[in-house]
Amino acid sequence: MKKVLCSVLLLGGILVFAQENTKNDTLNSSKTAEIQEVILKAQRKKQFTDRAVYTFDKEAMEKARYAKDLIQTLPELQLDPITNTLKSTKGGTTLFLINGIEATDMQIRSVAPAEVVKVEYYDIPPARWATRADVVVNLITRSTETGYVFGTDVSSALNTGFMNGSAYANFTKGKNNIGLEYSINLRDYNNRKVHSIYDYQLEGSHYRTDENKVDHFGYTSQNVALRYTRMVPDHYAFQAKMDVDIFTSFIKGNGGSIFTKDSFTEEHAMLKNGSSNYTTPTLDLYFSKNIGKKDEMSINVVGSTFTTNTSEFAREWIVSSGASVFDNDMNLRTKQTGIVGELAHVHTFEAGKLSSGYRISNTAISNDLQNLAGFSEYSVNYLEQYFYTEFSGKVKKFSYRIGAGLTNIHNKSAENTFAQWAFTPKVILGYQLKDNQSLRFTSSYKPVSPWSSALSSNIVQMAPNIVQKGNPFLKSQQVFANNFIYSFNNKYFDFNANLFYQYTDRIINQYYVADENFGYALTYENAKNAQRFGVQLSGSYKPFGNSFLVAKLNLTPATETIRTSNGALIKNNYLANNLVLSSEYKSFSLQYQLNIPVYTLNGAFLSTNENQNHFFASYKKKEWALTAGMYWIGMPSEYKTKSLPESLVNYSRVNRIMNNRSMFILGFSYDFSKGKKTELNKKLNNYTAPAATF
């Protein structure tokens, strides 16, 4: 709590004062008139083949304090109160951009509502983002100059270790802009209860381990970013960005278990301590130049190098005798270097737009590992190349986007080398039924490379006779995805119905296998295939035609199957759901979020998503906003996992964080701007691989 209070005081200690705003558009008068006409008179939503374009009326502009408030009103986006960031109600990864450049939450907050021209919501991301995100939100703003903006945001629980904080500042003069950001997320929970059961047959005997543990765990994630931008409109743009991610985590747990072998039973005690930390500096360089009126060339280079330290010590012993059952002492030091480079070209024809590019990413990891198998040194290298081109256009009521790509994956470890070239086509077709109704069809094929922990040869003891390890011989997955989407919107409804089918060849599946040294090992395989199909119904309903009451709902009845390498068929049916109710009246706003967790396939297990039962309210006064809320009302956050009937080990786990049950949160934010700032229209956005951990 001392750390929390110090951080709150640090972030809240920014002294602020009021100034009169000044306006200085760099657009000529004719273009300004056109933009105002779009904002005030056009339909609020216009549906295209791969995206919907939203504009905002005068009332919405006046209610919003910054651009983040406007984006939050989109029918398939919601505010995540746990992280205080925006996310999709459909799940998956959401990428936010400002004029084509990847943007943080603080950058979105730094844009005044009056500067917003429109918001592009891509539920079918273009080629350059398709491998990184499920949804892309691009905020289009006016080109502006001269001014500064700064702000801070802090929210904290009063009785446990939960705090989010941020502060930012931007200064623009002429064609130059300098920005500085800092954010921190802190969690420190001392009452997480975990109940696990392992039940299995081994060498003709029946074994069962029934564990109950209490953990004290937490993490601190910090980010510091500094960027310089120079933009000469209609000529060139340059940006250099340096950011540092600082991450530390820990776990301290102890408990007991009842160990049974046939009719023999004994009481065990256990402890588990662990920690992980890394500091990741990343340099991001971007340059874009217009060549004539119809061509644009862009180049983006991103690089990082850092070291990750991970340690874990787990011990289990017999209570009556003190004899050791197992001692798991794992220390991993990872040196990691990553670089991403991309070159792109865009040419505009009268009939449409042609976008082409080449991206290469390479991650080299050197490991010093001490674990149950002894000490080892080994290196791995992940290389991926991606050539892509796509053409988009429209003929009367028909619109289309046709793309073709070539992907090369080359993964090399001490045990194995995997290389593959894959053709990655994508087709998107759209037809406008009426002004407010449309049909869309999309089909794509792409490879997905295994993640670092799945390829790791590390071994970790989980329980007596049970270990976990990776598989260096994994191959990439091949994903074939299809969607048929009907969209409808009017003053009251904004609705999408998506009939989807996804087939994955060589899907990476986690399962238990017999291990001659340890008993059973939880590892990975390339199963034969997997399928997922169903209907996703999503959107919003405004019974009064305004923001006084808004209901956002996502329902997804679906079926998923996995065909394992030995031919067994695993099947699961589920009904994913998410409900958000919100209300705005003058300076007050309320929001309630609810879901019913469902089991979905996760390798050899069925796992639930995180439960939601959150309520929060806010009051806005000029540049200030005060927020209060209660999260996980009447319940702790809960996560359940259970094995499938086909599993060699019958496993179940229930994880409850008791600290955040009915957790009361207070927060405030302040955002101030004078004049305007330059926003870079960046066309390429990349990042190096995240820290490799097990």
Q: Residue 38 pLDDT > 50, yes or no?
A: no
Q: How confident is the model at residue 113 (pLDDT cuts 50, 70, 90)?
A: confident
Distances (CA, A) of 605 to 256, 273, 653: 24, 25, 10
Q: How confident is the model at residue 35 (pLDDT cuts 50, 70, 90)?
A: very low
Considering only 37-51, 509-523, 566-580, 633-647, which range has the smallest mean pLDDT? 37-51
CB atoms within 10 A of CB 340: 22
What pLDDT is attached to residue 143? 62
CB atoms within 10 A of CB 663: 21
Task: Kindly give, in sequence order, each residue whose CB lies less than 8 Å from that of residue 191, ignoring residues fewer than 6 positions away.
Answer: 214, 216, 657, 658, 659
Buried b (16+ CB within 10 A) or exposed e, 243-278: bebebebbbebebebebbeeeeeeebebebebebbb
Q: Residue 686 pLDDT > 70, yes or no?
A: no
Q: Which long-range contacts (CB under 8 A, 24 or more apart) does 156-159 make?
A: 156/4, 156/8, 156/665, 156/666, 156/667, 157/660, 157/663, 157/664, 157/665, 158/664, 158/665, 158/666, 159/663, 159/664
What pLDDT is attached to residue 101? 76
Tell me the mean pLDDT in the region 543-547.
Answer: 91
Q: How confident is the model at residue 14 (pLDDT cuts 50, 70, 90)?
A: very low
pTM of the model: 0.82
What pLDDT is attached to residue 89? 84
What pLDDT is attached to residue 683? 55
Percent over 70 (pLDDT), the chain: 90
Question: Are the C-beta atoms of 133 and 125 separated by less than 8 Å?
Answer: yes
**How far apart are the C-alpha atoms of 5 and 159, rounded to whole Å?**
11
What pLDDT is attached to residue 372? 80
What pLDDT is attached to residue 691? 64
| Closest to 7 measured CA to CA, from 143, 156, 168, 137 | 156
Q: How confident is the model at residue 210 (pLDDT cuts 50, 70, 90)?
A: very high
DSSP string, 153-183: EEEEESSSEEEEEEEEEEEEETTEEEEEEEE
Buried b (16+ CB within 10 A) or exposed e, 32-64: eeebeeebeeeeebbbbbbbbbbbbeeebbebb
Q: Residue 678 pLDDT > 90, yes or no?
A: no
Tell me the mean pLDDT in the region 277-303.
Answer: 92
**How far apart are the C-alpha atoms of 10 and 8, rounded to whole Å?**
5
Q: How confident is the model at residue 12 (pLDDT cuts 50, 70, 90)?
A: very low
Q: Residue 8 pLDDT > 70, yes or no?
A: no
| Closest to 596 measured CA to CA, from 609, 615, 614 | 609
Tell me the mean pLDDT in the region 515-542.
Answer: 94
Question: Are the C-beta atoms of 557 and 532 separated by less than 8 Å?
Answer: no
Tell me the mean pLDDT in the region 248-263.
Answer: 95
Tell me the mean pLDDT in the region 538-555.
Answer: 94
What pLDDT is attached to residue 692? 62
Tell me the mean pLDDT in the region 48-77.
Answer: 84
Task: Give bridge partners of residue 352 from the DSSP assignment.
Answer: 393
Q: Residue 20 pLDDT > 70, yes or no?
A: no
**How far apart are the C-alpha atoms of 211 and 193, rounded to whole Å?**
10
What pLDDT is attached to residue 690? 63
Considering only 189-193, 357-361, 412-416, 659-663, which range has the smallest mean pLDDT? 412-416
> Looking at residue 689, what DSSP letter applies?
P
What does pLDDT average to over the chain? 86
**How far apart are the C-alpha atoms of 299 and 288, rounded to whole Å?**
6
Q: How confident is the model at residue 232 (pLDDT cuts 50, 70, 90)?
A: confident
> Looking at residue 19, what DSSP letter applies?
-
Distances (CA, A) of 564 to 419, 506, 510, 519: 23, 9, 10, 21
Phi, psi dihedrals of residue 603, rounded to the nearest 5°:
70, -125
Q: Residue 290 pLDDT > 80, yes or no?
A: yes
Q: Residue 111 pLDDT > 70, yes or no?
A: yes
CB atoms within 10 A of CB 108: 22
pLDDT digits (tens, 9 = 90+) for 144-191: 556 788 889 999 999 899 999 999 998 888 888 899 999 999 999 999
What pLDDT is attached to residue 27? 29
**How far apart are the C-alpha atoms of 273 and 594, rounded to whole Å?**
34
Q: Which long-range contacts (CB under 8 A, 24 or more apart) does 607-614 make?
A: 607/639, 607/640, 607/641, 608/638, 608/639, 608/640, 608/641, 609/91, 609/576, 610/637, 610/638, 610/639, 611/635, 611/637, 611/638, 612/578, 614/81
What pLDDT is attached to residue 677? 43
What pLDDT is attached to residue 4? 41
Task: Kindly give, in sequence order, each residue whose CB lies less than 8 Å from that of residue 578, ignoring residues fewer than 6 positions away.
Answer: 78, 89, 90, 91, 552, 553, 554, 593, 594, 595, 612
**How far apart are the C-alpha atoms of 673 and 146, rounded to whole Å?**
11
pLDDT digits (tens, 9 = 90+) for 124-142: 888 777 777 888 999 988 7
What pLDDT is attached to residue 592? 97
Structure tokens given for 632: 């996980």
What pLDDT is attached to residue 688? 63
Question: Are the C-beta atoms of 174 and 19 separated by less than 8 Å?
Answer: no
Q: Residue 374 pLDDT > 50, yes or no?
A: yes
Question: Are the C-beta atoms of 667 and 106 separated by less than 8 Å?
Answer: no
Question: Are the C-beta atoms of 612 and 580 separated by less than 8 Å?
Answer: no
Residue count of the chain, please give it.
694
Q: How confident is the model at residue 400 (pLDDT cuts 50, 70, 90)?
A: very high
Q: Residue 234 pLDDT > 90, yes or no?
A: no
With residue 503 as reference, give the H or E element that holds it.
strand 493-505
Structure tokens given for 590: 């309320």
**How far apart are the C-alpha atoms of 531 and 533, rounded to whole Å?**
7
**How far apart are the C-alpha atoms of 98 and 67, rounded to whole Å?**
10
Question: Are the C-beta atoms of 540 and 552 separated by less than 8 Å?
Answer: yes
Give me the residue label for tokens 């809320």: 629
What pLDDT is attached to residue 211? 96
Which residue has better confidence, 607 or 115? 607
Q: Residue 679 pLDDT > 70, yes or no?
A: no
Considering only 430-434, 451-455, 497-501, 671-675, which range has the smallest mean pLDDT? 671-675
**How far apart are the C-alpha atoms of 164 and 180, rounded to whole Å?**
18
Give me the residue label for tokens 């589920």: 574
